[in-house]
Amino acid sequence: MKETTRNPILVALDVPDAVAAWKLASELAPVVGGFKIGAELFTSAGPDIVPRIRALERPVFLDLKFHDIPNTVARSVAAATRLGAQMLTIHTSGGLAMMRAAEESARRAAPTAPPLVLGVTVLTSMDSRALAETGAGENVARQVERLAQLALRAGLRGLVCSPLEITALRQILPVEIQLVTPGIRTGQESSDDQSRTLSPRQALAAGANWLVIGRPICAAPQPRAAAEQILASLH
């Protein structure tokens, strides 16, 4: 699908088990661009959940945020690639060698197109005080930029970032780098625990390529109608 017509909505399947995930995903598959499987669902349902959701013919984003020695991350990325994940996450704070190993492993393990290895910079749950406690200084924006540059040097082709980081990152990143953004709210629902949000349309206008949306769709009384409304709001 062309970049301009691609459906950018990745639904976060933040549900406790495979039955709930399948019910939600099969209802939403016709109207969304892909599904995100996080640590909760992966751990409770097991790796089989990836090919099961893939059978709906939508990309699967496996959000397990690998962070370990390069060899272990490379082997985990290869395993995720063999499972059929088309996008996956690693922590950029794992360093240059770890990120290079992840990207090389994705390319080696993929029979055709390698999965998009996305770097997570500073978790959006961390404020300047929490960051300083880790020894990384207290300037969150500077640390995000530093880690983004490191990810580029390592050859990553995409990053996860908060809505409010998109504009700054777009200024320093090549246009082909994919930005995946959670923290999306339409304005009609509560912001839940997300404190820095943008609407789907604003996030795309700022330069996001993919929107990770969980509760605004999954916790809506009619998830499919909510997804359709969001999709319509993009055009």
CB-nearest residue to ligand C5P: 214
In the residue annotation, 65 being an active-site residue is answered as yes
Q: Which positions from 110 through 139 interact with ligand C5P, judged by CB under 6 A?
A: 123-124
In whole angstroms, the minimum distance from the beta carbon of 216 to ligand C5P comes to 6
Q: Based on CB atoms, which residue is closest to ligand C5P, 82 or 196?
A: 196
Under the criterion CB under 6 A, does residue 40 sit at the interface with ligand C5P? no
Q: Which is nearer to ligand C5P, 108 or 196 (CB)?
A: 196
Instruction: Kindly state whether residue 87 participates in binding ligand C5P, applying the rule CB under 6 A.
Output: no
Number of chain positions touching ligand C5P (CB under 6 A): 16
Site map (CB under 6 A) of ligand C5P, residues 193-232, x = contact: -x-----------------xxxxx----------------
159 binds ligand C5P (CB under 6 A): no
For the chain, what is the HEC assignment? CCCCCCCCEEEECCCCCHHHHHHHHHHHHHHCCEEEEEHHHHHHHCCCHHHHHHCCCCCEEEEEEECCCHHHHHHHHHHHHHHCCCEEEEEHHHCHHHHHHHHHHHHHHCCCCCCEEEEECCCCCCCHHHHHHCCCCCCHHHHHHHHHHHHHHCCCCEEECCHHHHHHHHHHCCCCCEEEECCECCCCCCCCCCCCCECHHHHHHHCCCEEEECHHHHCCCCHHHHHHHHHHHCC
Decide whether 152 or 160 has the Cβ nearer to ligand C5P.
160
> Which is nearer to ligand C5P, 101 or 161 (by Cβ)?
161
User: Under the rule (CB under 6 A), what is the footprint of ligand C5P?
Assistant: 12, 14, 38, 123-124, 160, 162, 182-183, 192, 194, 212-216
